[in-house]
Amino acid sequence: MPWKKGLLFLGLALGLGGILLLLLSILTANYSGRMRDDEALNVYQLSLPARPRGTIPLGGGIEVLRKADPRRLRNPRPLTRAVLDQGRQAYSHYCWPCHGPELDGKATVGQSFYPLPTDLLGPTVQNQSDGELFYKISLGYKRQPPLYATLAAADRWAVIHYLRALARKKG
Ligand code: HEC
């Protein structure tokens, strides 16, 4: 049966042709090699870019205050009407709810504290230096919350001028 031979021949020819094509494509393909030899961005092999100046603080910060001697801290704000105004405003925003309109510790929020918020015009507070008060207001003291992250340092110093001014007026 000649047609069966023909079929066999055709199959062989196709098979051989396929193998040839495969070999040809392997030989002519533009392989770039193994993956590990590829050019790739290996982040861990890069050196760090230079750090722009001033982006990482190397000095200052709250830790400096924590280590400071409160009695050696000096109020850097001048005693001016503008600073007193700033102090009054800071007080009304950040102290008033606890220490109250009369600064005597009688206020809505303050009433839930034991002991009650200290009378800011009384001797306990007024006999301390500005630095000692700044230290306590900033970092907290007993029930007094730390406010360094709530008020700017300039506001905290201004509040102290304000407390002094009111105590002078009262006394
Ligand atoms: C959440 C309530 C609260 C707020 C807000 C608050 N205080 Fe007080 N403060 C207290 C309490 C309570 C005490 C009493 C602390 C104690 O003796 O336990 C106190 C005590 C103090 C003292 C006395 C510390 C001492 O030497 O005994 C000062 C000074 C003071 N506060 C200032 C301020 C100033 C200034 C602000 C605003 C910038 C302020 N406080 C905001 C609750 C508060």
pLDDT tens, residue by residue, 114-157:
999 999 999 999 999 999 999 999 999 999 999 999 999 999 99
Rounded average pLDDT over 47-62 = 82
Burial 141-168 (b: 16+ CB within 10 A, else e): eeebeebbeebeeebbbbbbbbbbebbe
Nearest Cα neighbor of 102 from 128, 84, 121 is 121
User: What's the pTM?
Assistant: 0.74
| Beta carbon of 117 within 6 Å of any ligand 1 atom | yes
Q: Which ligand 1 atom sits closest to the C-alpha of 133?
A: 29
Work out the average pLDDT over 80-97. Answer: 98
**Among protein residues, the one whose CA lies closest to atom 22 of ligand 1:** 118
Sequence letter at residue 11: G
Q: Is the dihedral of CA 142, 145, 148, 153 positive or negative?
A: negative
Q: Tell whether ligand 1 has an atom less than 6 A from the beta carbon of residue 142.
A: yes
Superfamily for the 80-170 domain: Cytochrome c-like domain (1.10.760.10)
